[in-house]
Amino acid sequence: MNQGNIHFVGVGGQGILLASEMTAYALINAGFDLKKSEVHGMAQRGGSVEAHLRFDQTRVYSPLIEPGTVDFQLAFETMEAARYLPYLNRNSKVIVNTQRIMPPSVATGKATYPDNCLDALTRQGIAVIPVDAYAIAKELGNIKAANVVLVGALSTFLPLPAEAFHEVIATRLPARIQEVNLQAFKAGRAAIEKD
């Protein structure tokens, strides 16, 4: 794979922007050119957050991913995975955290959470890869590392060695959380490689 489009989606507070930054630095460390863009929206109130990341071995001219051209979607919440269906195509791979976060309309009883959010994707022939990142991070002792579990899962599909991510963890994260995030990254890779 010489180039790719990665779409990070979820809700505010899930570490989406950090996950996209870690992936960007790992790709840069491996020699790729890239552009990245973020849409925060109402992130501080639990609203949707997305980040676009485009990489290439030669040159990337625009950070925004066009609809229908996502190679990998890293979805931090199940309903958010379905929300961005127009960005996907039959060759897209969606790595989705199985965690459900109730939006305010559901929490107040004005709406119901859809039962089968991922059915819309599978009906389109899109590969959906569920990962219980929250449970894995909880087992490691820090639920905040769920985002890095997902980065680990994503890394198994990218054209760069795991060591590129190890370097990012060692150089970009505070020392007090490096070890748990390294373990979370490895657990995310293991969740994909065991299947």
* pLDDT tens string 30-56: 999 999 999 876 656 668 899 999 999
| Number of structural domains the chain divides into | 1
Classify the C-alpha dihedral 84-87-89-94 as positive or negative.
negative
Counting every residue written for the chain, the total comes to 195
CA-nearest of 93, 101, 95 to 75 is 95
pLDDT for the residue numbered 120: 83
- The boundaries of the domain holding residue 146 are 3-191
Q: Is the pTM of this model over 0.95?
A: no
What integer best gives the mean pLDDT of the chain?
92
Percent of the chain with pLDDT over 70: 96
Q: Calculate mean pLDDT across residues 146-166.
A: 96
52 with 5: CB under 8 angstroms? yes
pLDDT for the residue numbered 42: 63
CA distance 153 to 150: 5
Residue 50 maps to which CATH number? 3.40.920.10
Amino acid identity, position 100: R
Classify the C-alpha dihedral 20-22-24-26 as positive or negative.
negative
Q: pLDDT category, 152, cuts 50, 70, 90?
A: very high
* pLDDT tens string 118-146: 888 899 899 999 999 999 999 999 999 99
